Amino acid sequence: METFDAIKERRSVKHYDQNHSLTEDEINQLMSLAVLSPTSFNMQNWRFVLVKDPEKKKQIRAASWDQAQVTDCSLLVVLCADLKAWKKNPSQYWRDAPKEAQEFLVNAMGPFYEGKDELQRDEAMRSCGIAAQTIMLTAKAMGYDSNPMIGFSPEKVGEIINLPKDHVISMMIVIGKQIQPPMPRGGQLSLSDVVFTDGF
């Protein structure tokens, strides 16, 4: 599928064929493309929890306002981020870069993030947001549908997936084969309402 078509045809689908499964090759393809998403300082701070265990999916559904898409989807992805990725062996993110770039970027990461909890969280959400769009467009190109979710208890889901204390959940994405098309688009704002040149 062409990129433009994937963007136009991607919709937030709520109803999935609960008997359909993604193959391991399809999941690997999806994740292999997801990790090509850009991150600040190339720190790759996203973490993807693929929930396959039916019992855990049931628990997460209970923590997600009993939304059937959580258990009916072919793949449930909890998008998390390591808030402290910037200081965990930062040289690993630039091991293949020229030495000059390595020295500059690795040395810059600490001062940029140290003591800035809000920036660390903002960075986590940015990284996961970009990766989420990559996942959803890739799924569409593969012939699948998806839905990004924030309708859940992050605390409860965090307990279910054993979320580390220095990590945060950004959102969940369900992926699968739709059995019911989404509602028509609710109404897009015009470009003149959202696009500005050189300021507001």
What backbone phi and psi angles, to 5 degrees, belong to 162?
60, 50
Distance CA 173, CA 132 (A): 8
pLDDT at 97: 94
| The predicted structure's pLDDT at residue 51 | 98
Looking at residue 1, its pLDDT comes to: 82
Q: Which residue ranges of the chain lie beneath pLDDT 50?
A: none
Q: Does residue 43 contact residue 85 with C-beta atoms inside 8 Å?
A: yes
- pTM of the model as a whole: 0.95
Buried/exposed 170-193: b ≥16 CB within 10 Å, e otherwise: bbbbbbbbbeeeeeeeeeeeeeee
Q: Which domains does the chain have, with CATH numbers?
A: 3-194 (3.40.109.10)
Task: State residue 193's pLDDT score.
Answer: 97
